[in-house]
Amino acid sequence: MLTNEIVKKLPFFSKYHGYSLSDLEGVLGVSKKTILSDINKINNILEELDIPIISLYNDKIFFPSISVTDIFAKLSPHLKHYIFQDERPYMIVLYLLLKEDYISNFHLQDVLRISKNSVLNDLKDLKKILASKEVTITYNRRKGYSLAGTPKALRIVLEWAINELLQFSSGKWIIRYLFYSCQKPFDFDQITPFFVNDTSRSQLFFISERVEATSYVILCLKWSCLEGKVVYSEKEKQLIRETVVFELAKQFVAEFPNLKRDCYFIATRLMGCTQGDLGISPQPEILTIMEAIIDTVSAKTGIIVTNDEQFRKNLYCHLAPAYFRLLFDNHIVNPLKEHILSEYESLFYLIKKSLFPLSEALGKTISDDEVAYFTMHFGGYLASRQTKSNHRKIVALAVCPNGISSSLILGSELKVLLPEIVFKDIHQLDQLNELQLQDYDVIFSTVFFETDKPLFVVQPFMNPVEKTILKKTVYNEFSLHSSFYSQSDDLLKIIKKSCLIEDERALREDLATYFLSLDKQDTTSWEGASLTDLLTIDLIQTKEKVKDWQEAITLAADPLLKQGYIEASYITAMIDSVKKLGAYIVLAPHVAVPHAAPEKGVKRLGMSLLQLQEPISFNLDKNDYDEEKEVQLIFVLAAVDSSAHLKALQQLVMILDDEKMLQKLIAAKTREDIYRLLKWCTLNEEVK
């Protein structure tokens, strides 16, 4: 029987065609026995569909010459071999919104292929989820089960169900299956051409991942039993009408008249999947928010963003659709969120805090899914700044049509992994047509497509074994020299001769991790040092008062200067930065964190602190007095790069968010007391 867990391994086995089971053990993190069991289950289904099976030869797997899309095309909508599991809540929502006839428990049993009690349990769980979305499941003898809520709430729930289903490898097939079950025409191919045709005429660039989800939403709106329409204010309508995508929404209505009630709603969804273009009529309000975010990120992370025009173009490209998604309650699912939280935990926290200008402007809470995309954007930018510039001969394209943020992450990962290759980031497949074949040698992409050049399908985040396999394959393809993978294999053979290896898979992964770390030994861990590792007792001072803010910064930085962390020029640079940019360094009430670019005189990573008994004013503009800029704690940050200090800053920001702890630091009598408070905060998770 097929399940989503089995289905999502189909593209995996296809991707690692010709690799050994030992390699797959390392990538998947499971035993050889589990892999063989999965292959056997897949082969049983392939045989029933009269498709060549996955074969094994000399401990290597060979996938048949057929795409996963082709396999699903052979799965008829009424196929009984699929077991629905985690997909069921979203299926129920879509089924209740599509089916116009009476819906009983029996109907749900039939469509979900589960028992009566299982249906009741699913409905019970779903009711709890939908309650937070202001939608209820109702039942009466005339209509059976149905969903009740405002037109807007019901459409948002429809989007939610589609977005969640599309996270499953079988998601598209499940949606088609539900259309079949509700006896609705699945005319998806009538929706997608609108995006292609209008893009060429209007210079619109859509995010491929969002276009797909939006197309399914439009298809479901076309055939759903939803009544009423979403109400927008005149101001909102005016904003929608002024956008280029409103014309596209009207084209949908002209072609499908029953979408007329949803014309404005569809336009808001199109606004959320269109990449912003800084060169074509940028929105003044979004530009203002963007600059405020850059300033806030700089203040909270210590990252100095120079006048980098490409960086701003990329940020606006992502910010514009995010702005409209938040404005019109268009919630998305970021499939890489958990990876981001794991790989960029400190940066994620600091970026979330730095998006305050956006949330304040819209009066909206920014979801972790959206924050993760912004983190990917800044993380990719930081990683690219730390990548060494080498002379490279081979030119590669890094293609990630799912958005600018994913592309930046992918590009930065590949640049570190394959330093002999120069990468060009491409965010839309259409952009390939603008390049000559002789302009590049190889393509790395998150999606498969036909091309005359070597194509490697990769993910933005790869584990050490996946990186090892990719690097080995690429180096073999272009006859490049790198000893790390041959060293790993050779060392494993030597160990086998003299030792009994209890867990070869774990050893192989550890060796891969080790040799990869040698290849990128100059890169810095995103975690970095903790706050109290940097801010030791000898770098903390207490003083009654100073004459002005310049003296406060100078005195606060003095321990770093005396101990060789910084040069005198760094102190001058910090003061000049405040004079030029204002008191952006005041991160919290009565707290300043001055810093400057590493190249201004930083020798090694460090942080110092000056506590003042009498506040010193950082109110540079006398006509705009702010009591919170009367500062008593000055933390000087000396960063060597863009990321090694992020963990320490995350911990500091968490402490500053705790008003009681902040007051304790201000009131502390000695530097030992201050250090003890900071140490307690970093060791305990009670700090908010």
Task: Quote the CA–CA distance of 365 and 688 in Å, as a whole number.
Answer: 18
Our measurement of the distance from residue 613's CA atom to the centroid of its chain's CA atoms, rounded to an integer in Å, reads: 43
H/E element, 587: strand 586-588
* CA nearest neighbour of 31 among 411, 508, 583, 673: 508
Task: Quote the CA–CA distance of 134 and 305 in Å, as a whole number.
Answer: 42
Considering only the C-alpha atoms of the chain, give the largest distance between any 2 of them, rounded to a whole number of Å: 85
Burial of 89 (0-12, 13-18, 19+ CB in 10 A): middle
Residues 6+ apart with CB under 8 A from 517: none
The tokens of 131 are what? 């309650």
595 belongs to the catalytic site: yes
Rg value, the chain, Cα: 28
* CA nearest neighbour of 106 among 115, 97, 95: 115
Exposed e or buried b for every residue in 339-368, given b needs 16+ CB within 10 A? bbeebbbbbbbbbbbbbebbeebbebebbe
Kindly list the distances between the CA atom of residue 613 and the CA atoms of 543, 607, 670, 675, in Å, as whole numbers in the listed order: 6, 20, 11, 17
Residue located via tokens 């100095």: 304
* Catalytic pick among 377, 427, 590, 595: 595
The tokens of 124 are what? 């019970």
Task: Quote the CA–CA distance of 395 and 423 in Å, as a whole number.
Answer: 6
The answer to whether 673 and 328 are in contact (CB under 8 A) is: no
| Dihedrals phi, psi of 79, to nearest 5 degrees | -55, 135
H/E element, 352: helix 345-354
Residues 6+ apart with CB under 8 A from 104: 144, 145
* CA nearest neighbour of 40 among 65, 67, 13, 19: 13
Exposed e or buried b for every residue in 399-408, given b needs 16+ CB within 10 A? bbbbbbbbbb
The tokens of 315 are what? 């940020």
Task: Quote the CA–CA distance of 61 and 472 in Å, as a whole number.
Answer: 17
Beta strands in 58-142 (DSSP E): 60-62, 136-140
The helix/strand/coil state of 146 is: strand
Q: Which residues participate in catalysis according to the annotation?
A: 595
